[in-house]
Chains A and B, each alone.
Chain A
Amino acid sequence: MTINEIQEEIVEEFSAFDEWMDKYSYLIEIGNDLEGFKDEWRLEQNLIEGCQSKVWVHAELDNDKIIYSADSDAIITKGIIALLIRVLSGRTPDEILNTELSFVEEIGLKDHLSPTRSNGLLSMMKQMRLYAVAFKAKMGQ
């Protein structure tokens, strides 16, 4: 599936929820299920300190694809992270850099990624892009 197909898939899934409560239950569920962030990555340099919740991001290259891992101390934040990882992880830097993350707005979570939210998610998204830029530069060498 392309990145955009995954975005559409997520939008589709979320369209099944009529109640905000169901949407958040789902975020909590996938937040709880998000695994794979190794303790050795829990470093100061990987930490994005939001005022409300903390986010850790790690990225590494697997051949030409970027594998993202992330974690947060707040579950809703973690749920949104899980969605971002589902869309962006395992993609090439070019794919990542050429993608508009339109699904966030379409499933009504844009609020959580606004600069005033101070939950670390916006900085995390920027950080994910920065990794893509950096890996792209490295691969071009």
Chain B
Amino acid sequence: MNINIEQIRKDFPILQEKVHGKPLVYFDNAATTHKPQVVIDAVSEVYQKYNSNIHRGVHHLSNVCTQAHENARIKVQQFINATHSHEIIFTRGTTESINLLASSFSDTFLKEGDEVLVSQLEHHSNIVPWQLLEKRKGIKLRYIPINERGELILDNIDELINSRTKLVSIAHISNALGTINPIKEIIEIAHSKDIPVLIDGAQSVQHLEVDVQELDCDFYVFSGHKLYAPTGIGVLYGKEAWLNIMEPYQGGGEMIKTVSFEGTTFNELPFKFEAGTPDFSGSVGLGAAIDYVLSIGLDNIAQYEHELLEYATEKLSAIPNIRFFGTAKEKTSVISFLIGDIHPFDMGTMLDKMGIAVRTGHHCAQPLMQYYNIPGTIRASFAIYNTKEEIDQLVNGIERVAQLFG
């Protein structure tokens, strides 16, 4: 493998920080990743060298800033291999992307009795927006069930995707379990019935190569902050044909062509969906993060993280009374578990004292926790800068806590 972890760790200044006097071991990457210096620099360069409101100015800085923002859009386009850069809509993140879609798509295409299909392992942000539409529009939300291993059960998919289904909206990868869902298969089934598919890629783009043309999904959404980019910037990819016939989301500046009190005409893509001043420092940061990830190589990242996953799974398995949640054949570097009847909060609190950051609780996926009949799990999720030594520390920390609880 041609990656140098020591060098990569040096790229992330926060990894030098101490927590409770101990070196930081950060295993909460599925929640958000840290930022390499190049991303931090790119963002501060915006403010130090060319900050100006974009798209409207004739002056020099405005042009430079507009150029930087639009370059970032092209980087995103190439990153996920979209056909056009105007199919890339900048949002605040996955949550806003899904809400945008829930709003704009439903305006034109959803009516009472229609169904939207999600899965049992979705993040709340791919459940609640649709539940709001159940209230507002009388649609029905249905879900693909999972098995004990945390894999989708597709046995009844022909009934679940039926003539009332108007949209299928599925996570590419589960944030709580790491399961990689068979989205290609689901997209094919849905398309055979002319039903569009939205993929929640919040947990994917940082771990594996995504090609939206190859997947043929109609919409793909993700957040910058889980991809080593700043918080507050995210992406909605939509096929041009869909975006053109959808209603705008929010109204305001940027998204209009002409405004009069008699009526308003909307701007073309992508601006139709980008009301107001966009987060151009965020987009530039996202562009820099994409460059950074590509400089390491997604293949290398996937391979290294898989090694970490295998190592951690093996080491953790030796701990008495450990129960894993999410043991799918296809999964990314996320491990969810419980130790005996130790409450996740207690484990998380103690590990924190040792400088180890894990996530505990329901991971914004309560329906999934209900399926397993547990209040939550302890989740360790790995990123490109984590090491096997850190995993040893985690295992060691867990053993110490387990001893304490007898």
Distance, CA A73 to CA B344, complexed state (A): 10
A contact residues around B377 at 8 Å (CB): none
The interface-forming segment of A20-28, A93-101, A133-141 is: A20-28
Q: Are A28 and B345 in contact (CB under 8 A)?
A: no
Contacts A20-B20, A52-B360, A52-B361 hold; do A28 and B404 have CB atoms under 8 A apart? yes
A52 x B345 contact (CB < 8 A): yes
A51 CA to B369 CA, complexed, in Å: 14
* Contact digits for B236-275, partner A, Cβ 8 Å, 1 yes 0 no: 0000000000000000000000000000000000000000
Does A74 count as interface, using CB distance less than 8 angstroms? yes
Q: Quick one: closest A residue to B362, CB to CB?
A: A51
A77 within 8 A of B: yes
Would you call B404 and A119 a contact (CB within 8 A)?
no
In the assembled complex, A53 has its CB within 8 A of some CB on chain B: yes
A76 CB–B CB distance under 8 Å: yes
Among B343, B360, B375, find the residue whose CB has the most chain A CB atoms closer than 10 A. Answer: B343
CB distance from A25 to the nearest CB of B (A): 6
Whole-angstrom distance from the CB of A113 to the nearest CB of chain B?
A: 13
Give the residue of A20, A51, A53 whose beta carbon is less than 8 angstroms from that of B343.
A53
* Residue numbers in A under 8 Å from B346 (CB-CB): 28, 74-77
Whether the Cβ atoms of B345 and A77 lie closer than 8 Å is: yes
B350 contacts across to A, CB distance below 8 A: 24, 76
Q: Report whether B404 and A24 are in contact in the complex, using a CB–CB cutoff of 8 Å.
A: yes
Instruction: Give the complex CA separation of A75 and B349 in angstroms.
Output: 11
**Which residues of A, 24-53, contact B by the 8 Å Cβ criterion?**
24-25, 28, 51-53
Q: Of A24, A52, A77, which one neighbours B353 at CB under 8 angstroms?
A: A24
Q: Smallest Cβ distance from B358 to chain A, in angstroms? A: 12
**Distance (Å) between the CB of A14 and the closest chain B CB?**
15
Complex Cα spacing A24 to B353, Å: 10
Instruction: Count chain B CB atoms within 10 A of each CB in A53, A73, A119 and give the residue with the most.
Output: A53
Assembled-state Cα–Cα distance A14/B22 (Å): 22
Interface residue count on the B side (C-beta < 8 Å): 16
B353 close to A20 (CB less than 8 A):
yes
Q: Smallest CB-CB separation from A23: which chain B residue?
A: B353
Q: Whose C-beta in chain B lies nearest to the C-beta of A19?
A: B353
Contact call A25/B404, Cβ cutoff below 8 A: yes
Q: How far is the CB of A103 from chain B (nearest CB, A)?
A: 19
- What is the 8 Å Cβ interface bit string for chain B, positions 18-48, against chain A (1 contact, 0 not)? 0010000000000000000000000000000
Task: Specify which chain B residues have a CB less than 8 angstroms from the CB of A73 in the assembled complex.
Answer: 343, 375
Cα of A24 to Cα of B361 in the assembled complex, Å: 20
B348 and chain A: residue at smallest CB distance:
A52
Question: Shortest Cβ distance from B348 into chain A, in angstroms?
Answer: 8
Query: Within 8 Å of chain A (Cβ to Cβ): is B405?
Result: yes
A119 to B343, CA, bound (A): 12
Partner of B345, one of A24, A25, A74: A74
Using Cβ atoms and an 8 Å threshold, which residues of chain A touch B400? Answer: 21
CB of A75 within 8 A of CB of B361, answer no
A73–B345 Cα distance when bound, in Å, is 9
Q: How many Å lie between the Cα of A52 and that of B348 in the bound state?
A: 10
Tell me the nearest residue of chain B to A79, going by C-beta: B346
List the B side residues contacting A25 at CB < 8 Å: 404
Query: A76 to B348, alpha carbons, bound, how many Å?
Result: 11
Q: How many Å from the CB of B108 to the closest CB on chain A?
A: 37
- Using a CB-CB cutoff of 8 Å, which residues 335-375 of chain B contact chain A? 343-346, 348-350, 353, 360-361, 375
Interface of A toward B, CB cutoff 8 Å: 20-21, 24-25, 28, 51-54, 73-77, 119
- What are 20 pairs between A and B in contact, CB < 8 Å? A21-B353, A21-B404, A24-B353, A28-B346, A28-B404, A28-B405, A52-B344, A52-B348, A52-B360, A52-B361, A53-B345, A54-B375, A73-B343, A73-B375, A74-B346, A76-B346, A76-B349, A76-B350, A77-B345, A77-B346
- Add 8 more A-B contacts to A21-B404, A77-B346 (CB < 8 A): A20-B353, A24-B349, A24-B404, A28-B404, A52-B360, A73-B343, A75-B346, A76-B350
Nearest 10 pairs of A and B residues by beta carbon: A74-B343, A74-B345, A52-B345, A53-B345, A76-B346, A20-B353, A74-B346, A75-B346, A76-B349, A52-B361
